[in-house]
Structure 1
Amino acid sequence: MTTFTIDPRGPFSLYEQGVFGFGQNFDTRWDGVMRLAFCVDGYSAHAGVEVRQDGELLHCEMTGDADPAVVRRQVARVISADHDGHGFAAIGEQDPVIGALQRVRPGLRPPQFYSPYEAAVWSVLSARRPARQMAAVRDALSRAHGTVFTLAGRECPALPAPAQLLRVTEFPGIPELKLRRLHEVAKAALDGQLAIDRLTAMDPDDAMRDLQRLPGIGPFYSALVVIRACGLTDVLPTQEPKALDLVRRLYDLPATPSPQQLAVLAEPWRPYRTWATVLVRAAGARLLESRAAA
């Protein structure tokens, strides 16, 4: 087992990430350990990592044969500990709404999908299907064709690497059309189209358009891959109805803001507009409830 530490620089709560439920993680139980099992960047190896927080530092224990330096960088990206968070805290001091949201979910930074490949796989699997149902299918697929790690006493399956996924010709719960689309995602990963360095070097809008060449990846899911898998901090999602409605209520606006109006309102959030939007979605309802009860 290889160990390493990560300094998230600024307010950070592993607990807040651990109980944050989204496409990568529907198990929001918390026992002090974040368990990560994933395809390592490059998509030819797997790793399992246990992450614990001790004060300001994150202590990680890695299982697997992947390059520890690559795994460390990927883990930091997945938990948004690869950017200095002091600047985000400063935005909360300038914007009273963001500051109040930060107090509701102290130290929350956006948890990311493990990689663009895994986000694209999830996009294909979950399209027009109940998310929890497809999370169970993904888990079964990973157990059958990926790698299973035992992390802090729990079995944690990692998604099949692209080459492994291409060998899957049928699987319960995955229709033939979706499986063909998954194979296209796997081929794109093997061709380097889903390499993290390639996508982050592009303008985010260009990266989204590029991803839409993949069957089954439209505007919504291309945005999910770019915004929630590449570790970018300053891409403003403007097409999320829930976030727009929460912004209206939190900022006491007369109507739901248009994308253009949101862009103006969110200008002070730079260079953390992605983080701020995730915080709005994660803590907005709770803040509104506390306002109403006051």
Structure 2
Amino acid sequence: MADHRVEVEVRGPWSLQTSRAFWEGFTPSALPPRPGAALEATFLVEGEWRRASVSVTQHGATAVLSLSGDGDLDRAAAQVCRFLSLDVDGRGWPSVASRDPVIASAQAALPGLRPCGFYSAYEAAAWSVLAQRVRMLQAAALKASLLEDGVFPSPASLVSRPLDLPGRKAEYLRAVAEAALDGLLDAVSLRAMKPAAAVLAVQQVKGLGPFAAELVVLRGANEPDAVPHNESRLTDEVAERYGRPLGEVSEAWRPYRTWAAVHLRVLRERRLGGVVTPA
């Protein structure tokens, strides 16, 4: 098992502590709380689907990634940067606050937050299937029942193993796994597309509608600049805070529309006493 250390210069505001606390409360893919300052995670490397582990620490504007595993650790490091949003140039994020006082308040309440939570677009798609027509905690229990040695199973494993799931979830989950094996849920490819085109592409997978496809692109591939048009709680939050439509309000958030949406959703859940759910 190889060990690999990567230093990443993070451009713009970032707090590992804030991001880690957010992820630990993110029900769809909650990071297990651990003592110490480091963020530690084990995941499957996209495409190879081999295990990798990472310990992330922050030293000023530098993220230090200490990786181990059997696969391509450079590829794993790139994936870590993607699922922690460290690959995004956030130097313009504070200027959004100067244009929008609501976002200014959100940034002050969540200093240095960068959206994180799903290790891959494939895992986000699988969660979307598991969460259909059930409560959030039920979906989390279904996901936990599928884990293999603490990580979500590879697409090949999902295709081959028996799945005892309610309704059509087994059928849809296998469709997601097959799409991942075919490269249709590759985060790099989805990020290279315009967000609207990526959402349409994901909807070609059986069982993934508009809401699910947006989750896959915005939170699985971690696209930083798109608006979730099918997220009713975000729409409600914008209506309450701004009194104007989401599409109009979000123009001031470019090129960090996803980031702004996540911040507003986190503040809403805190205010209403709920759990952190996808935005």
Could you tell me how far 1:39 is from its partner in structure 2?
1.7
What is the identity, as a one-letter code, of the residue corresponding to 2:254?
A: R
Which protein shows a greater Rg? Answer: 1
Taking the aligned partners of 1:120 and 1:286, their CA distance within structure 2 comes to 25
Within the candidate set 258, 263, 278, 1:279 is matched to 263
What is the identity, as a one-letter code, of the residue corresponding to 1:279?
A: H
In structure 1, what is the equivalent of residue 208 of structure 2? 217
Report the 3-state secondary structure (helix = DSSP H, G, I; strand = E; otherwise coil) of the residue aligned with 1:42. coil
Are residues 1:191 and 2:196 paired? no
Could you tell me how far 1:54 is from its partner in structure 2?
2.6
Q: 1:189 touches 1:195 (CA, 8 Å); kept in 2?
A: yes
Taking the aligned partners of 2:37 and 2:153, their CA distance within structure 1 comes to 27
Are residues 1:204 and 2:195 paired? yes
In structure 2, what is the equivalent of residue 77 of structure 1? 82
Taking the aligned partners of 1:59 and 1:77, their CA distance within structure 2 comes to 14
Distance 1:94 1:28, change over 3 A: farther
Taking the aligned partners of 1:176 and 1:288, their CA distance within structure 2 comes to 31
Q: 1:80 touches 1:109 (CA, 8 Å); kept in 2?
A: yes
In structure 2, what is the equivalent of residue 97 of structure 1? 102
Report the 3-state secondary structure (helix = DSSP H, G, I; strand = E; otherwise coil) of the residue aligned with 1:158. coil
Could you tell me how far 1:10 is from its partner in structure 2?
1.4
In structure 2, what is the equivalent of residue 66 of structure 1? 71
Taking the aligned partners of 1:248 and 1:190, their CA distance within structure 2 comes to 40
Could you tell me how far 1:247 is from its partner in structure 2?
2.0
In structure 1, what is the equivalent of residue 230 of structure 2? 239
Mapping of 1:114-153 within 5 angstroms?
114-143=119-148, 148=149
TM-score (norm 2): 0.87
What is the identity, as a one-letter code, of the residue corresponding to 1:161?
A: S
Are residues 1:266 and 2:257 paired? no
Give the total of aligned pairs.
268
Residue deviations 1:130-163 (CA, integer Å, cap 9, x gap)? 22233233233223xxxx3xxxxxxxx2211111
Taking the aligned partners of 2:138 and 2:68, their CA distance within structure 1 comes to 28
Taking the aligned partners of 1:128 and 1:27, their CA distance within structure 2 comes to 25
Taking the aligned partners of 1:181 and 1:285, their CA distance within structure 2 comes to 29
Q: 1:212 touches 1:219 (CA, 8 Å); kept in 2?
A: yes
Report the 3-state secondary structure (helix = DSSP H, G, I; strand = E; otherwise coil) of the residue aligned with 1:47. strand
Within the candidate set 158, 161, 168, 1:165 is matched to 158
In structure 1, what is the equivalent of residue 277 of structure 2? none
TM-score (norm 1): 0.83
Report the 3-state secondary structure (helix = DSSP H, G, I; strand = E; otherwise coil) of the residue aligned with 1:266. helix
What is the identity, as a one-letter code, of the residue corresponding to 2:260?
A: A
Residue deviations 1:82-127 (CA, integer Å, cap 9, x gap)? 0111101121133222111111110011114211111111111121
Taking the aligned partners of 1:80 and 1:8, their CA distance within structure 2 comes to 9
